[in-house]
Amino acid sequence: MVRVSADPLAWLLSLEGVPSAFAAARDGIDAVLRDRGLRRTSPEVTAESLLRGAHASAVLEGSVSSLDEVRAGAGDEIAQDAVRVSTELLGLMPVLRRAPLQALARLHAVAAAGVLPQERLGRPRDGEAAAKLRAVGELVTASTDAPALAIASLVHAELLTAAPFGSHNGIVARAAERLVIAAKGVDEKSLVVPEAAHLKLRAEYESNLRGFEKGGQPGVHSWLLYAAEAYAAAAEASPLLDR
């Protein structure tokens, strides 16, 4: 009898180098959180991490605002959209766990408020986009032994390359990645900054997203290995290291 794994993401664990890469990335995050005294961190540190992430995500989306401008509330429209999302992000953790599609819709509605008509906020573009969102929701809720960071990276890439919403897909994808990392217990106070890592590694980030979009296992494999590298850089971008 051939036994079929009940784990829908078991294939992740069979990709060469992927389990070890994500284990190392998780160790790096845990070391930063532990060594800098996670239990003693203040809400201000979380707020700074979220702000840095919003700025980096906005730049990747086309913003030309500096971090100082964003911190002062004077950023351009894209930056303001990203900051709005960041202020609601962690409040969506319980929603993501029980109803991920609702959480993704809310992320888009917040990001695109004032840009798209009310009836398009949080709504997929068409039936194909709706199916892609359902698949992403299944990724989030899957019963799996795959690393939480790997799941976050797939959620990010699937959302960004499928572009299921009428606008702001990059901001939504990167916010969803951070939200998954928090909701799955890797970094519940959201102190590492994956968006800053993607900005720092922008050429590799965009190249690997293109490979992921083309489809096929090689592109997915390369994206996952890139993401593990980015999460190591995300830990290094944490405001905890400023202390």
Look up the CATH superfamily of 10-33+42-242. Answer: Fido-like domain (1.10.3290.10)
- How sure is the predictor about 2, in pLDDT bands with cuts at 50, 70 and 90? very low
Q: What is the pLDDT of residues 51-106, one digit of tens each?
A: 999 999 999 999 999 999 999 999 999 999 999 999 999 999 999 999 999 999 99
Q: What is the mean pLDDT of residues 29-38?
A: 81
Q: Return the percent helix, strand and coil in the chain, to nearest 5.
A: 70, 0, 25
Distance (Å) of CA 242 to CA 32, 44, 91, 235: 11, 13, 25, 12
Residue 35 has a pLDDT of 78
Residue 230 has a pLDDT of 98
CA distance 85 to 107: 6
Give the least confident one: 6-10, 40-44, 152-156, 162-166: 40-44
CA distance 227 to 186: 15
Q: What is the mean pLDDT of residues 206-229?
A: 96
- How sure is the predictor about 6, in pLDDT bands with cuts at 50, 70 and 90? confident
The pTM of the full predicted model, rounded to 2 decimals, is 0.95
- For tokens 């809310």, the residue is 106
